[in-house]
């Protein structure tokens, strides 16, 4: 039979070439319209929940935050599995739904459950929020910033304030995560001996810094038929302004941050060393 097919093909070369061209055209059209991706998403519909609890250890986050959220989500419509990971000050919960479940309906179900369990969380825990819609197959690009003239701190600032915002404006991009470098910050280095001399605690210093670093509005002032906004500018921008923040009063003398230590703006290398020391301790 194969010999006969070969002999027929040799005698009818024109018909064979026409049939091959037709099959090639039909295959190209089928590939262009087939509803499948080259790398299909092999993950079930998943909703990611992030919860932050500043200063809480994993042994504290697990029973007070992670377990109540997992218990509220278990048994929700369409949920097939709930997984979690707890670290220092943060908990990540993954809620997997059945195959074919609409992701928008799944996010609505998770949001309703979080509203119910939110009131039972500790006061210092922030409100749980949902991560953007993305899957394990959605990580598509790594961008590296290098410069011989700019420091890692400046590169990280550009990545946070310029590049990340422009990438998020691209249709289809759900999340951009900058890593590395250093983040701009001011550090207040306190002397324990001075805190003891003035009978002050770290919590009092933290509250004073938080309350001093804010602006306040006092309404409008009408003059000459015009309204002028009255605003008190209180946000600090330099180390000297931080040093002038009042922590407490002892008699007629105010106790300033400068009396308890010093405020500095560390470089990126100093910030990384400080962070490494904090993690290792």
Supply the CATH number for residue 196's domain.
3.30.2090.10
pLDDT at position 215 is: 77
pLDDT more than 70, % of the chain? 89
- Structural domains in the chain (count): 3
Report yes or no on 55 lying in a domain.
Answer: yes
pLDDT at position 3 is: 84
Report yes or no on 117 lying in a domain.
Answer: yes
Residues 89 and 121 in one domain: yes
Provide the domain limits for residue 231.
187-265
| Mean pLDDT in residue range 54-59 | 80
Residues 87 and 22 in one domain: no
Residues 59 and 126 in one domain: yes
Residues 63 and 118 in one domain: yes
**Separation in Å, CA 236 to CA 52, 161, 202, 212, 271:** 26, 20, 19, 8, 20
Residue scoring higher pLDDT (55 or 103): 103
Residues 55 and 87 in one domain: yes
Residues 73 and 16 in one domain: no
Stretch among 44-58, 126-140, 148-162, 216-230 having the lowest mean pLDDT = 126-140
Contact 126, 88 (CB under 8 A): no
pLDDT at position 134 is: 67
Count Cβ atoms within 10 A of the Cβ of residue 192 and give its class: 0-12 exposed, 13-18 middle, 19 or more buried.
exposed
Q: Name the pLDDT band for 16 (thresholds 50, 70, 90).
A: confident
Beta strands in 3-116 (DSSP E): 46-52, 79-87, 90-97
pLDDT at position 11 is: 85
pLDDT at position 36 is: 60
| Mean pLDDT in residue range 181-205 | 85
Q: Is the pLDDT of residue 26 over 70?
A: yes
Report yes or no on 172 lying in a domain.
Answer: no
Residues 212 and 248 in one domain: yes
CA distance 114 to 49: 9
Contact 89, 36 (CB under 8 A): no
Residues 20 and 77 in one domain: no
Beta bridge partners of 97: 79
Residues 53 and 120 in one domain: yes
In Å, how far from its chain's centre is CA 3? 67
Q: Is the pLDDT of residue 274 over 80?
A: no
Stretch among 56-65, 81-90, 118-127, 131-140 having the lowest mean pLDDT = 131-140
Report yes or no on 230 lying in a domain.
Answer: yes
Stretch among 7-11, 57-61, 158-162, 264-268 having the lowest mean pLDDT = 264-268
Q: Give residue-wise pLDDT tens across range 120-175.
A: 888 878 888 888 776 555 566 788 888 888 888 888 888 888 998 998 888 878 77
Q: Is the pLDDT of residue 275 over 50?
A: no
pLDDT at position 272 is: 47
Q: Name the pLDDT band for 231 (thresholds 50, 70, 90).
A: confident
User: How confident is the prediction for the chain on average, in pLDDT?
Assistant: 81
Where residue 78 sits, what CATH number does that domain have? Answer: 3.30.70.1430
- Lookup result for tokens 């002038």: 244
Report yes or no on 56 lying in a domain.
Answer: yes
Report yes or no on 281 lying in a domain.
Answer: no
pLDDT at position 37 is: 57
Sign of torsion, CA 199 205 207 211?
Answer: positive
pLDDT at position 219 is: 78
Report yes or no on 27 lying in a domain.
Answer: yes
Name the DSSP class of 161.
I
Report yes or no on 276 lying in a domain.
Answer: no
| Mean pLDDT in residue range 43-61 | 83
Residue scoring higher pLDDT (31 or 270): 31
pLDDT at position 23 is: 92
Residues 199 and 248 in one domain: yes
Tell me the whole-structure pTM to 2 decimals. 0.50
């Amino acid at each position: 039979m194969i010999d006969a097919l070969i002999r027929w093909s040799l005698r009818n070369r024109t018909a064979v070439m026409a049939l091959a061209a037709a099959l090639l055209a039909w295959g190209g059209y089928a590939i262009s319209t087939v509803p499948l991706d080259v790398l299909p998403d092999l993950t079930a519909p998943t909703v990611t929940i992030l919860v932050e609890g500043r200063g809480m250890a994993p042994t504290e986050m697990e029973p007070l935050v992670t377990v109540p959220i997992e218990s509220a989500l278990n048994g929700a419509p369409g949920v097939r599995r709930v997984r979690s990971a707890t670290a220092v000050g943060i908990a990540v919960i993954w809620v997997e739904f059945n195959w074919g479940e609409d992701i928008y309906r799944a996010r609505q179900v998770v949001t309703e459950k979080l509203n119910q369990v939110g009131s039972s969380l500790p006061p210092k825990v922030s409100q749980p929020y949902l991560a953007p819609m993305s899957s394990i197959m959605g990580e598509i690009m790594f961008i590296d910033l290098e410069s011989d003239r700019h420091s890692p701190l400046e590169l990280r600032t550009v990545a946070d304030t310029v590049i990340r915002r422009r990438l998020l404006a691209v249709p289809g991009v759900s999340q951009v995560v900058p890593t590395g470098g250093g983040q701009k910050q001011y550090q207040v280095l306190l002397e324990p001996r001075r805190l003891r001399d003035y009978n002050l605690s770290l919590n009092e210093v933290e509250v004073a810094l938080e309350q001093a670093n804010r602006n306040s509005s006092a309404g409008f002032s009408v003059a000459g038929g015009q309204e002028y906004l009255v605003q008190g500018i209180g946000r600090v921008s330099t180390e000297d302004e931080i040093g002038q923040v009042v922590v407490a009063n002892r008699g007629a003398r105010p106790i300033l941050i400068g009396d308890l230590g010093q405020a500095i703006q560390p470089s990126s290398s100093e910030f990384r060393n400080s962070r490494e020391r904090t993690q290792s301790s």
